[in-house]
Amino acid sequence: MAAPNERKGEGGTTERVSETASQTPELKAPVEPSALPLSPPSLDERRFLFDKEMGVADKSLKNRELDLKEAELKKPVWRDPVFLGIIAAALSVLGSLLVTALSNHNAQELARQKTNADIVTELIRNVDAATAKRNLQVAISVGLVQDPDSKITDSLNKGVFLSLPPASQAQPAAPVAGIVPNNTSGTTAPIQTSEQLIAEQTIVVPNGGYALTSSPTCPTPQLEDTAGIVSAMLRNALAQSYPDLQSLAPTATKAAVSISQSSGSRGDAASCGTVAFEVPSDYKSVRAEFSAGEKDGALRPCLQQVGPSLNCDVGWAAWTWSASGTKAVATFKNWSGDRTRQARVRLIGIKEK
């Protein structure tokens, strides 16, 4: 009989079994998980889970905000609505300033041109041609008269720029032939039985510029100097004193006419027409009658005395005239900006018997 720690081996041999091996416990099968439900989490566990989920969500939102801010910073500046608004406001302000500056500049330029023209007129009035030329040259050299494009200087060099008459000739001379302007009482006197129509001339004068002043000057200022023209004609010195008007050579049977047209620009001069008459010496009393109207309209009287001119009822028009001895000169001015006018002057007198 074998001992407790021995066993029979093959071939009848006896093997000794280790005591430790004989003492190893037997392995048990794994226990199946219980099918019973788990107990619900406690309040602290739920609070912990809620805080955890909120932390994850908050982190996600912050990451999203950071992504949006990063994308906004990478966006081109010209696509920024705030930047575009600032640019639009700045452009609007600059535009307003530019318009204001241009308006002020234009107003100052018109005022400067008018002042310049007034100074030139005063420098050449009441002096002879040589003195007028010298006055203008001195005024230009010292800057009193502005001549940026050298037009005045060129005119002086060519001998085109003439003077207004001396003071002694500026006023109409005594009417040797009895020529007087038609009455200014508001009516035009009809031709009486004892009177005769000596001469009549109708002219058509184109529109002038949109004048900024009442009764602006003619493009050729000498046309308004009717007294000086009459004086030069009586002295047979028209060609010397007024070279541009030497075509004004009336005869006893035909009046002479000269037309000077404005450029039509805003603020420019009036368009003018001058008529010169040779009055027969056998008339002891002569009067002049003036009228004007639209180009194809009825003639209306010019009776309102304003300074040296007779303003016309048609508006924006006036006659200026002078007479002495056997000479009579009348200039019609039209400063309407868009209307051509017809104008008529008639000489009516009583013949000596």
Q: For 7-30, write each residue's pLDDT tens digit.
A: 555 555 555 555 555 555 565 556
End-to-end CA distance of the chain: 204
Q: Between 81 and 323, whose confidence is greater?
A: 323
Q: Are 222 and 283 in contact (CB under 8 A)?
A: no
Q: In this structure, what token pair is assigned to residue 271?
A: 């368009």
Q: Who wins on pLDDT, 281 or 201?
A: 201
| Cα distance between residue 181 and residue 186, in whole Å | 13
Burial class (CB in 10 A: 0-12, 13-18, 19+), 206: middle
Residue 213 backbone zone (phi > 0: left; psi -120 to 50: alpha; other: beta): beta
Q: What is the pLDDT confidence band of residue 158, given thresholds at 50, 70 and 90?
A: low
Tokens representing 26? 């037997």
Angstrom distance (rounded) from CA 23 to CA 343: 153
β-pair type (256-260, 317-324): unpaired
**DSSP-derived secondary structure for 149-185:** T-HHHHHHHHT---PPPBHHHHSPPP-TT-EEEPP-S
Cα 185 to Cα 144, 178, 285, 289, 305, distances in angstroms: 43, 19, 19, 13, 10
CA dihedral angle for residue 89, residue 93, residue 95, residue 100, rounded to 10 degrees: 160
Q: 325 and 176 in contact (C-beta within 8 Å)?
A: yes
Q: Are 272 and 218 in contact (CB under 8 A)?
A: yes
Which residues, in sequence order, are CB contacts of 199 under 8 Å at separation 6+?
Answer: 255, 277, 279, 346, 347
Report strand pairing: 283-294 vs 179-181: parallel
For residue 276, what pLDDT is reported?
Answer: 92
With contact defined as beta carbons under 8 Å apart, do 123 and 139 qualify? yes
- Is the pLDDT at 176 greater than 90, yes or no? no
- CB-based contacts of 190-194 (< 8 A; 24+ apart in sequence): 191/348, 194/350
Angle at 17 between CA 14 and CA 19, to 5 degrees: 150
Tens digit of pLDDT for each residue in 290-302? 999 998 889 999 9
- pLDDT (average), residues 240-265: 83
Q: CA-based Rg of the chain, rounded to a whole angstrom?
A: 55
pLDDT at position 294, please?
Answer: 93
Could you tell me how far CA 77 lies from the centroid of its own chain? 37
Give the pLDDT score at 104.
Answer: 87
Asked whether 292 and 342 are in contact (CB, 8 A), the reply is yes
Range from 21-25, 27-31, 151-155, 193-197 carrying the lowest mean pLDDT: 21-25
Segment 182-196 mean pLDDT: 58
Residue 315 has pLDDT above 50, yes or no: yes
User: What pLDDT is attached to residue 352?
Assistant: 75
The pLDDT of residue 175 is 36
pLDDT score at 183: 39
Task: Considering only residues 126 and 259, tell me which one the structure prediction assigns the higher pLDDT.
Answer: 259
pLDDT of residue 202: 94
In the chain, alpha helices (H): 19-22, 43-74, 81-124, 129-142, 151-158, 167-170, 226-234, 238-241
